Amino acid sequence: AQRVTQPEKLLSVFKGAPVELKCNYSYSGSPELFWYVQYSRQRLQLLLRHISRESIKGFTADLNKGETSFHLKKPFAQEEDSAMYYCALGPLDSNYQLIWGAGTKLIIKP
């Protein structure tokens, strides 16, 4: 079954500390993977996708097919990074629909 797991519902780190939000997926084919973010009182929006290989707002995510993971990382957290983060899988044989993780709430402490 296709599934996305975000093991941490809540992650709290101090400002300036490194951040890693975990995402594991279950899918036998070649996936497209995404991180979406929802800041307080704002809409859900795309943060980054693995095929673009970009760093957005200092965040990066590397697809590890061996470990079926797509962890989101930032070396130095900032207070404005506090938000809900969702990992999503786009299996290419499923009419391009997204399968979502339950999300991780990231709190950056001053």
Partner 1 sequence: EADIYQTPRYLVIGTGKKITLECSQTMGHDKMYWYQQDPGMELHLIHYSYGVNSTEKGDLSSESTVSRIRTEHFPLTLESARPSHTSQYLCASSDIGQGVDEQFFGPGTRLTVL
Is 28 a residue that touches partner 1 (CB under 8 A)? no
90 scored as a contact of partner 1 (CB under 8 A): yes
Residue 17 found at the interface with partner 1 (CB under 8 A): no
Q: Is 49 in the site for partner 1 (CB under 8 A)?
A: yes
Residue with tokens 């996305």: 4
Residues contacting 53, CB < 8 A, separation 6+: none
Backbone dihedral region for residue 90 (phi beyond 0: left; psi -120 to 50: alpha; all else: beta): beta
Q: Are 36 and 59 in contact (CB under 8 A)?
A: no
Q: Is residue 32 near partner 1 by the rule CB under 8 A? A: yes
86 binds partner 1 (CB under 8 A): yes
Which residues contribute to the site for partner 1 (CB under 8 A)? 4, 9, 32, 34, 43-46, 49, 51, 86, 90, 92, 95-103
